[in-house]
Amino acid sequence: MISKEDIHKVLEGYDKKKLTIATIGSHTALQIMKGAKDEGFRTLVICRPGKEDFYGRFGIADDILSVKEYIDILDDEFQQKLIEKNVILIPHGSFVEYVGAKNIEDKLRVPVFGNRAVLGWESDRGREREWLIKAGVRVPREFDRPEDIDCLSIVKFPGARGGRNYFLAKNAVEFEENIRGMKLEDRENFTIQEYIIGTRFYPHYFYSPLKNRVELLGIDIRYETNVDGVARISHLLGEHPNPSFVVAGNIPVVARESLLPRMMDIAENLVKASKDLFKPGMVGPFCIESICTENLEFIVFEISARIVAGTNLYMQGSQYSQLLYDEPMSTGRRIAREIKDAGKENLTRIVL
Amino acid sequence: MISKEDIHKVLEGYDKKKLTIATIGSHTALQIMKGAKDEGFRTLVICRPGKEDFYGRFGIADDILSVKEYIDILDDEFQQKLIEKNVILIPHGSFVEYVGAKNIEDKLRVPVFGNRAVLGWESDRGREREWLIKAGVRVPREFDRPEDIDCLSIVKFPGARGGRNYFLAKNAVEFEENIRGMKLEDRENFTIQEYIIGTRFYPHYFYSPLKNRVELLGIDIRYETNVDGVARISHLLGEHPNPSFVVAGNIPVVARESLLPRMMDIAENLVKASKDLFKPGMVGPFCIESICTENLEFIVFEISARIVAGTNLYMQGSQYSQLLYDEPMSTGRRIAREIKDAGKENLTRIVL
Amino acid sequence: MISKEDIHKVLEGYDKKKLTIATIGSHTALQIMKGAKDEGFRTLVICRPGKEDFYGRFGIADDILSVKEYIDILDDEFQQKLIEKNVILIPHGSFVEYVGAKNIEDKLRVPVFGNRAVLGWESDRGREREWLIKAGVRVPREFDRPEDIDCLSIVKFPGARGGRNYFLAKNAVEFEENIRGMKLEDRENFTIQEYIIGTRFYPHYFYSPLKNRVELLGIDIRYETNVDGVARISHLLGEHPNPSFVVAGNIPVVARESLLPRMMDIAENLVKASKDLFKPGMVGPFCIESICTENLEFIVFEISARIVAGTNLYMQGSQYSQLLYDEPMSTGRRIAREIKDAGKENLTRIVL
């Protein structure tokens, strides 16, 4: 386990005038690098073979490093190379998925933006639920055993694999039908959640410890295959396949203004709860996955405590970001701005 | 009843260099204030207790006043306070809903942007329909009595409560099943409209009496709970609940360019008709709620003669607004711009 | 048939400092003209009677010419008038539909942006499929005869009429039921394609021969009537009408970043294949109509080798365009920029 002290020692050795913002080439890397460039940083992207050309074509990557597998960034030599370049890593969904929350906490000496302790909380469904409940947020019911299912439910599997293999079931029989074909490992590691019907909202927030405020930077709806394709013509399908929920993209949305205060309350309560659960709490971007019911109540079924893919809609800023910022402020740029604002003195408050 | 003359006398007393743009803290208040600030006005927002922090956090409210109930803004003393601040009120959907079109016409001495007579026309379904028909716009069939229902129909209730309690019925039996549980007051005050199937378009217009032109500032689709959630997995639901149509948000859309001339014709015909129905007619923002059928005909089922919530998508301007304006022109900002353009001499042409 | 040499002779006679960008008043004309004005060109729009006011109202048409039918632009005198104004025509979907790909190749002496040979390839389903397959792109299965239909299929008709009359059929019987009422001409000229279920993505590309690069400028989803209206309440409809697929608008979307490299590969392979099929290949804007399956594979069911209507979403630029351009770069503006970049010397490389 790498301690905060170890990381802050690495930070101490950095040339603060030559920081490099880096991430893994996937998920929100384009946005992160564009934002970093806009704020005057050098950028670096770590790619798997074959992706270098793609990431090179936009003129926003000052440096491109290749690794065979993303996990290789944990190699001592590779880490040393990053440290020599004064790298601050920005974790995103694929980053956490491919490197692993535990590996990041235990083995990554390179400074990472935010509080790396949060990654263990958001990627473990049990702790995630504890956090949500502690924050007073409404969550869906969960069923420990398939036999307990008494309403339409969604069955989920661990990791940020974008909804792969998720399925719906109304009872234990449908559960069994769906789980039968899966690998043993998956079959033992599921969560059964009440499926809430309503409008989906995935608000993107940013918590700045420097300003001590939560900002709303945009909202999206996930565009999922094949459920969104099935829904369009479901009555024409002879048989009704169980849809899959693989996130393929995102669609922009705004919420009724009278819902925004509640949306902000939820976010602030989550920040507050995080300060109790893992001091000094969450830092930087996060997102809740929520459903707004017909009674206009929000049920929160997940929290992502890092930049989410839906923010890619707002690489030019959003309706909401421009209430706060005169420039086009994406979440990627907001991260870079926080690092810039921290300057030499306060980097240890946002790299934990 | 407050006469135009009374209001213009109030306006006369105003310090025109220190006008304050004000509205009620809900619906489109953020956009209205941001637009007012961008045009150089002072802003004021009237909040119910507990919302002050939310409206204070964006740095766009110069002044925040609290009221216990929104209806309290009719109190003499409160009105006097607004008048002393040279306030022009901007009416929006929640404003009209909470204060009441009749109260605004009868009791509000504070100058209101636009022609307050329009609020009585848009919030009364009978007069609204008269207006649409006079403008030569295609409207859905309506059924006076449940027994007359002969096709899939939507049953609506008065006020801008965002679709609450609306339901669908194919015949009198389904009508009765749905209305049974409602409060008596609702049960007597419904409209039964043919449910038109097609793509929904809610274009946002602005009519400027100063320029004598109608501008298209954006288009949205309403995102409604729980109908949009039910539709996504309807074939998986054991029983098929009647969906509800509570507006929770808005999704951006553009229309096929060949449909735009027709969209503009409809708007101009509505402005023309309004001049006959309530001189000098409609002023400022309005929206039609329309369906585009597979024959590419527009059926208009409602008109909102004030700023609509869908404009919140375009707080940074839209595809359409930027054809007319080099700056990011939201509907909120467009209102402020019209007030600025009116200057001292022409305020009485847009505050009626 | 007009040869490239004929056209280049016309170009030679042009006053290159006074080029006029022109198109037909429909489809993407507003965007094309706005983009041309932003790049400093004169603009001209050709309208059918009654549309002049609409195209005049935005202040972006320097010149408006009326024709009774669009096909009249082929008249010698009319062409001469355009040539005298140093016009470069921008073809779009309605342009190709109304004037005809063959007429453009055979009779239009006025210089047209891009390689006019491409229009014959994209508007003929057989050649279009040959092109897609040559590029190594996955395409849906096709059935030559109704009897061969063995899965849910979509039946399409020629031309860019925006999906009119398209229908779904699961077998020969359903095919016959649907085709019966049609005009004889349509009944003989259909394509039967496997209906792929997934999320729809219509990425907008621009291939610049001057920079020899493909740019991603945006992505949309088509909003179709009445299928998108039926889907919303299909379980409430007593009978289930076969939906129609008439494009009425477009909704913005972004794709998961890990899908973008594949999206770019497809585009580059299509450009490469076009260079073999019709030298010197495709120039300027194009779009693929694709479905992303639950295995995150793209199936491409169509290619449009000219500006598409979905680009109207991004008249202010998109998430993707701003990675490449500091200014708001619409596809319309990108076309004008390419013409400007070509200058005197290289016009013949992009007007073919």
| Chain B: residue whose CA lies nearest to A196 | B229
List CB contacts of B137: < 8 A, sequence separation 6 or more.
Answer: B266, B269, B270, B288, B298, B300
**A26·C195 Cβ contact <8 A:** no
Lay out the sheet containing A153-156: strands in order across.
Answer: A142-143, A191-194, A153-156, A167-169
CA–CA distance, B127 with B101 (Å, rounded to integer)? 13
Q: Residue A183's pLDDT band (boundaries 50, 70, 90)? A: confident
**pLDDT score, position C200:** 98
**pLDDT score, position A185:** 67
Share of chain C above pLDDT 70, in %: 97
Cβ contacts of C228 on chain B, cutoff 8 Å = 199
Across residues B87-93, what is the average pLDDT? Answer: 97
Q: Is C52 on the interface with B (CB under 8 A)?
A: no
**pLDDT score, position B331:** 98
Q: Which of A163-177, C70-84, C172-186, C314-328 has the lowest mean pLDDT?
A: C172-186
Cβ contacts of A313 on chain C, cutoff 8 Å = 252, 254, 319
**A294·B251 Cβ contact <8 A:** no
**C152·A236 Cβ contact <8 A:** yes
CA–CA distance, C110 with C107 (Å, rounded to integer)? 9
C-alpha angle C128-C131-C132 in degrees, rounded to nearest 5: 90
Helix ranges (H only) for chain C are: 4-12, 29-38, 52-56, 76-84, 93-99, 101-107, 117-122, 125-134, 172-179, 184-187, 227-233, 260-277, 321-324, 331-350
Cβ contacts of A160 on chain C, cutoff 8 Å = none
Alpha carbon separation from B38 to A125, A317, B91, C171 (Å, rounded): 45, 17, 19, 60
Is residue B160 scored above 90 in pLDDT?
Answer: no
Average pLDDT of chain A is 94
Looking at the partner chain, which of A27, A224, A251 has a beta carbon nearest the beta carbon of C257? A27
Identify the residue whose tokens are 């929100």: A28
Looking at the partner chain, which of A213, A243, A261 has a beta carbon nearest the beta carbon of B233? A243
CA–CA distance, A31 with A19 (Å, rounded to integer)? 18
Is residue B313 scored above 70 in pLDDT?
Answer: yes
Across residues B225-243, what is the average pLDDT? Answer: 84
Q: What is the pLDDT of residues A94-153, one digit of tens each?
A: 999 999 999 999 999 999 999 999 999 988 889 999 999 999 999 999 999 999 999 999
Q: Note whether C135 and C269 are within 8 A (CB).
A: yes
**What are chain B's partners, defined as 3 or more CB pairs within 8 angstroms?**
A, C
| Chain B: residue whose CA lies nearest to C24 | B258
**A228·B232 Cβ contact <8 A:** yes
Q: What is the pLDDT of residues C340-352, one digit of tens each?
A: 999 988 999 999 9
| Chain C: residue whose CA lies nearest to B168 | C236
Is residue A290 scored above 80 in pLDDT?
Answer: yes
Which residues, numbered 171 to 230 in chain A, qualify as contacts with chain C under a Cβ-Cβ cut-off of 8 Å? 223-226, 228-230
DSSP secondary structure letters along B282-311: --EEEEEEEEE-TTS-EEEEEEE-SB-GGG
Across residues B118-126, what is the average pLDDT? Answer: 90
Cβ contacts of C316 on chain B, cutoff 8 Å = 317-319, 322
Q: What is the pLDDT of residues B34-62, one digit of tens each?
A: 999 999 999 999 999 999 999 999 999 99
Q: Residue A184's pLDDT band (boundaries 50, 70, 90)? A: low
Across residues A319-340, what is the average pLDDT? Answer: 97
Is residue A228 scored above 80 in pLDDT?
Answer: yes
Task: Enter the pTM of the model.
Answer: 0.96
**pLDDT score, position C238:** 67
Q: Note whether C44 and C60 are within 8 A (CB).
A: no
Is residue B184 scored above 80 in pLDDT?
Answer: no
Cβ contacts of A246 on chain C, cutoff 8 Å = 294, 296
Q: What is the pLDDT of residues A26-36, one digit of tens each?
A: 999 999 999 99
Relative to beta strand C63-66, strand C42-47 is parallel
Is residue C159 scored above 70 in pLDDT?
Answer: no
Q: Is A299 on the interface with B (CB under 8 A)?
A: no
DSSP secondary structure letters along C188-223: TS-EEEE---SEEEEEEEEEETTTTEEEEEEEEEEE
Find the radius of gyration of the CA atoms of chain C: 20
Q: How far is A119 from chain B (nearest CA, A)?
A: 28
What chain C holds in terms of domains, given with CATH numbers, is 4-114+345-349 (3.40.50.20), 123-137+198-326 (3.30.470.20), 142-194 (3.30.1490.20)
Give the E-state strand segments of chain A in sequence order.
Answer: 20-24, 42-47, 63-66, 87-89, 142-143, 153-156, 167-169, 191-194, 199-208, 213-226, 245-252, 254-255, 284-292, 298-304
Size of interface A-B (CB pairs under 8 A): 121
Q: Quick one: tokens of B115?
A: 């022609």
Is residue C160 scored above 60 in pLDDT?
Answer: no
ipTM, two decimals: 0.95
Higher pLDDT, B126 or C165: B126
Q: Best of A236, A312, A319 to disrupt the C interface by mutation (most C CBs within 10 Å)?
A: A236
Closest CA to C274 of C117, C48, C153: C117
Looking at the partner chain, which of C26, C30, C248 has a beta carbon nearest the beta carbon of B292? C248
Question: What is the phi/psi pair of residue C295, to 5°?
Answer: -90, 10
Amino acid at A4: K
Average pLDDT of chain B is 94
Q: Quick one: tokens of C272?
A: 């490469």
Which stretch of DSSP H or E encloses residue B206? Answer: strand B199-208
**pLDDT score, position B180:** 86
Share of chain B above pLDDT 90, in %: 86
Q: What is the pLDDT of residues A232-273, one digit of tens each?
A: 988 888 676 778 999 999 999 999 999 999 999 999 999 999
Looking at the partner chain, which of B51, B247, B249 has a beta carbon nearest the beta carbon of A201? B249
Is residue B185 scored above 80 in pLDDT?
Answer: no
Q: Note whether A74 and A9 are within 8 A (CB).
A: no
Residue A136: count of CB within 10 angstroms of its CB: 12
**pLDDT score, position B123:** 85
Across residues A333-338, what is the average pLDDT? Answer: 98
Across residues A196-203, what is the average pLDDT? Answer: 97
**C246·B319 Cβ contact <8 A:** no
Across residues C283-291, what is the average pLDDT? Answer: 98
Q: What is the pLDDT of residues A143-161, one digit of tens each?
A: 999 999 999 999 988 764 5
**C312·B152 Cβ contact <8 A:** no
Looking at the partner chain, which of B229, B312, B315 has a beta carbon nearest the beta carbon of A199? B229
Q: Note whether B80 and B12 are within 8 A (CB).
A: no
DSSP secondary structure letters along C127-181: HHHHHHHHTT-----EESSGGG--S-EEEE-SSSSTTTT-EEESSHHHHHHHHTT
Find the radius of gyration of the CA atoms of chain A: 20
Q: Residue B347's pLDDT band (boundaries 50, 70, 90)? A: very high
Q: How far is B251 from chain C (nearest CA, A)?
A: 8
